[in-house]
Amino acid sequence: MAEQKLDLDEIRAVIRIASESPDVAELEVESPTLKISVKKVPGGVRAVISQPAGNPVAVHSPPAHPAPAAPAVTGDHLVPVTAPMVGTFFRAAKPDAPPFVSEGDMVETGQTVCIIEAMKLFNEIQSEVRGRIVRILVENASPVEYGQSLMLVDTTAP
């Protein structure tokens, strides 16, 4: 029997089902390669995606009508850099240019960390906090949605 994998659209659909359904408070979906646990929390939806290696990745989805607020900090001091719009994620200004940041890099508040292209406009996305990039969650040149976590910043890094 062929191994079935969940793709990004299917993951988004699971998160969307949990966030839009008033009767669903928690939802878990599992495939041989991925496990998704989605829970409604105050202010939105929290999804934890685990791979066989056991390294969970927390993904936060904004509420249906997000209110402007400071970035949410998870219990382990990780702050997501989120997409402020729908578009295409780019790690560098040009295809042959070095990326703005890589995992392990220190960033300052206001530092450009990536670009999102929307309707032929290139929008620089800046870090809202100072810290160390611990994980980049999106592949270069991938489509992203409003509120999607792009990377995680550890605010406790020296």
Q: What CATH number does the domain containing 78 carry?
A: 2.40.50.100
Is residue 134's pLDDT more than 60? yes
pTM: 0.54
Domain-ending residue, one of 17, 49, 67: 67
Task: Say what the pLDDT of residue 51 is.
Answer: 52
- 62 lies in the same domain as 84: no
What local confidence, expressed as pLDDT, does residue 119 receive?
83
Rounded to the nearest angstrom, the gap between the alpha carbon of residue 116 and the centroid of all alpha carbons in its chain is 13
Same domain, 55 and 90: no
- The pLDDT of 112-131, averaged and rounded, is 91
Q: Are residues 63 and 96 in the same domain?
A: no
Most confident range, picked from 7-16, 23-32, 39-48, 93-102: 93-102
Q: Are residue 122 and residue 150 in the same domain, yes or no?
A: yes
- Look at the chain and report how many structural domains it folds into: 2
Sheet with 35-41, strands from edge to edge, namely: 26-30, 35-41, 44-50, 57-61
149 lies in which domain range?
70-158
- Mean pLDDT score across all residues of the chain: 76
Residue range 14-23: average pLDDT? 72
Least confident of 7-21, 33-47, 117-131: 33-47
Residues 95 and 142 in one domain: yes
DSSP state of 110: T
Q: Are residues 61 and 88 in the same domain?
A: no
* Residue at a domain's end among 67, 84, 116: 67
State whether 2 and 53 are in the same domain. Answer: yes
Q: Which of 16, 42, 67 is the last residue of a domain?
A: 67
Strands (E), the chain: 26-30, 35-41, 44-50, 57-61, 78-82, 87-90, 106-107, 112-118, 121-126, 131-136, 142-144, 149-154
pLDDT by residue (tens digit) across 63-120? 444 433 434 444 457 889 999 888 999 999 998 999 999 999 999 999 999 999 988 8
The Cα–Cα gap between 81 and 150 comes to 6
CB 83 within 8 A of CB 148: yes
pLDDT of residue 39: 73
